[in-house]
Amino acid sequence: MTSTPSDTGAGLLRLHPDGTASRGSRILGIVVLVSSVAFLYVALVASAPDRSLDAQGELVRIMYVHVPSAIACYTAFFVTAVASGMYLWRRTTGWDALAASSAEIGVVFTALTLLTGSIWGHTTWGTWWEWDPRLTSTALMFVLYLGYLALRRAILDPTSRAKQSAILGIIAFINVPIVHYSVDWWRSLHQTATVASLDPQIDGLRLFALMFGMVLAMLLYVWLMMHRFRLAYAEAALESKGLDQALAERRAEARADGGSVPPSVTPEGGS
């Protein structure tokens, strides 16, 4: 089935013939884009600065990005752990691609969490960085998942790469609850959860902006996952084709030399 720009829809819903978009992802993309504009209006214009006793003033607006990006990276790494477990059970490329895609998006959201937290910390605590339990465990989480991505690039054999990555994807997730509960388990400069209780520390339009940010971050995560997973799937398919082609060439070379085909390049050899 070949698709051209003219037969895949019109206007904003037109699909790029070669890309990773589908009609569903295009619709979700438009929803995310429109919601982002609305979110910027609510977060930067409509909501009032914090004038409470523990006032953050205008800086509270940083929280509308910082907290949702932290929630998004927790979600992404949870999906990585589940998909890694599913890969070890089912051994299918799809679960491996799902785990890898989610980890990469999680790393982007973690970088955003650290960046926005650092900016907020500089204005509130007077320092860009503090070796506080929450900050340190978040930095560790960032490095762990960077290591996960590096491991995927370092191993050439797809089966070995998927297996070792899946094991690391599960082990690395142990740090995620430590990050979340670090503010409760140890004395921390970082504040405790803002909306985890029935009596949230913010209300009104500020609470709405924070919730809106969380929903938007989740929608963005799902949309990014749709594209990143399809990209990973396409890369895996091309890699598999490349291996098949290399094996066929090696067999042809062996036959041309008049020798026997080594077991490592026969189908039974499992190479």
Partner 1 sequence: MPVVLAEASAWSYVTVTYVATVGLLGGYTAWILRRGRKVGRQLPPEERTWS
What residue ranges bind partner 1 (CB under 8 A)? Answer: 1-3, 8, 15-22, 25, 40, 43-44, 49, 57-59, 61-62, 65-66, 69, 108, 111-112, 115-116, 119-120, 122-123, 220, 224, 227-228, 230-231, 234-235, 237-238
Angle at which helix 158-173 crosses helix 204-256, to 10 degrees, equals 160
Shorter beta-carbon distance to partner 1: residue 170 or 216 = 216
Task: Retrieve residue 269's tokens.
Answer: 């050899």
Shorter beta-carbon distance to partner 1: residue 117 or 133 = 117
CB of 119 to partner 1, least distance (A): 5
CB of 195 to partner 1, least distance (A): 19
CB of 228 to partner 1, least distance (A): 6
Cα–Cα distance measured from residue 12 to residue 2, given in angstroms and rounded to the nearest whole number:
20
Task: Retrieve residue 29's tokens.
Answer: 């993309």
CB of 5 to partner 1, least distance (A): 12
Shorter beta-carbon distance to partner 1: residue 121 or 133 = 121
Shorter beta-carbon distance to partner 1: residue 108 or 178 = 108
Shorter beta-carbon distance to partner 1: residue 24 or 269 = 24
Do 173 and 78 contact (CB within 8 A), yes or no? yes
Cα–Cα distance measured from residue 42 to residue 210, given in angstroms and rounded to the nearest whole number:
10
Do 266 and 248 contact (CB within 8 A), yes or no? no
CB of 65 to partner 1, least distance (A): 5
Shorter beta-carbon distance to partner 1: residue 71 or 178 = 71
- Given the structure tokens 């430590």, which residue do they identify? 178
Residue type, 54: D
CA angle 115, 215, 73 (to 5 degrees): 40
CA angle 65, 28, 5 (to 5 degrees): 130
Angle at which helix 60-90 crosses helix 93-124, to 10 degrees, equals 160
CB of 25 to partner 1, least distance (A): 8
